[in-house]
Amino acid sequence: APEGECVTSATARAYPNIALVKYWGKADEKLIVPVAGSLSMTLDDFPTTTTVTLTDGGDTFRLNEVDHDGTSADRVTVFLDLVRSLAVDAGLDTAHLSARVVSTNEGPTAAGMASSASGFAALAVAAASAYGLDLDTRELSRLARRGSGSASRSLIDRFAVWHAGDDESSYAEAVSAPDMAMVAVPVATGEKAVSSRQGMIATAETSPFYPAWITSTQETLTEMIAACERGDVTTIGELTENHAIRMHALIASCRPSIRYLNPTSIAVFDEIAAMRQEGVEAYATADAGPNVFALTRPELAHIVADRLVGFTKDNEAKILMPGQGAHLIDG
């Protein structure tokens, strides 16, 4: 920076999370409050690292060495406007400044690898720090939620429950759970046809099963929290796979139907079920895309990965463990 110029900058890192109890549906579109709570594991790889530098030259967004405008940059600016409004409330003189946002995403973007979760979690932490806001983890989780619902959970170490409720009470917090491994089985890359946001709206508007989805998700979450707290991996796994299948069935019930899984995804679900028959305990889940994750015991992770690698696009089935919530890093 030129001599005498004070450059305010902060860098944060966040990881994606994979839901064991899924978020699918909003009670409030603008505030991003979900219709039901959800529960996830924060991963220890595929980070997003984001630097926010305050400037007076207008907001800019650079992701993986590419300058972005259009929808993704608009979402960043809308989010920064929220951060700036918090800075106004706090009486900070940074509130009038714009921001240069530079992000590096090490996971595949918009292909069901939860890049918006790590992205907005890292942005929330970096932007709050750069603008001089003093927010605790709960407030940062609420802030990240406004960028993308699932981002609220990436603030939390290891396992997170994200509460439904209202703007005040909808945040994520830690839940105790046993060590488990996630084996990533990426079967396809490329942008998905229907965004989660659009898919959720279509589901609320057109699926006759939506009310039952909401009530059954609340019940599953209660069972899941209890299973996590008693360290019952078998029940955690069974609930995880069943809830994922319910979500994809719900989504398929839209009119017109929406489908995120492809034939390879289904083959992976079948292979995981076959492994269980043989006594290798693993459970399948998938988000709004074709990639599958196998939840298993840490000591079985290599066996599971070896068994599933043949289904992957790039002959790699990565083993992921519970990771760190979003946090500031140097430089």
Stretch that binds ligand 2P0, among 15-23, 210-218, 274-282, 309-317 (CB under 6 A): 15-23
HEC string of 83-118? HHHHHHHCCCHHHHCEEEEEEEECCCCCCCCCHHHH
Site for ligand 2P0 in 41-60 (CB under 6 A): none
Does residue 68 touch ligand 2P0 according to CB under 6 A?
no
In the bound complex, what is the minimum distance in angstroms from residue 126's beta carbon to ligand 2P0? 18
- CB closer to ligand 2P0, 47 vs 149: 149
Find the length of the chain: 331
Token pair for 138: 């709960």
Does residue 258 touch ligand 2P0 according to CB under 6 A?
no
Hey, how many other C-beta atoms are within 10 angstroms of the C-beta on 175? 16
Q: Residue with CB nearest ligand 2P0?
A: 149
* CA distances for 78 relative to 30, 59, 162, 205, 275, angstroms: 11, 10, 22, 26, 46
Does residue 196 touch ligand 2P0 according to CB under 6 A?
yes
- CB closer to ligand 2P0, 54 vs 251: 251
- CB closer to ligand 2P0, 195 vs 324: 195
Question: Which residues are CB-contacts of 109 (< 8 A; sequence separation ≥ 6)?
Answer: 63, 64, 115, 191
Does residue 23 touch ligand 2P0 according to CB under 6 A?
yes
Map residues 93-122 to x or -, x wherever contact with ligand 2P0 holds by CB under 6 A: -----------------------x------
C-alpha dihedral sign at 283, 109, 165, 327: positive
Does residue 32 touch ligand 2P0 according to CB under 6 A?
yes
Does residue 22 touch ligand 2P0 according to CB under 6 A?
yes
Are 158 and 82 in contact by the 8 Å Cβ rule? The answer is no
C-alpha dihedral sign at 51, 84, 199, 181: positive
Residue 174 has phi, psi (to 5 degrees) of -70, 145
Does residue 213 touch ligand 2P0 according to CB under 6 A?
no
Question: Given the rule CB under 6 A, which residues bind ligand 2P0?
Answer: 19, 22-24, 32, 38, 116, 148-150, 196-197, 287-288
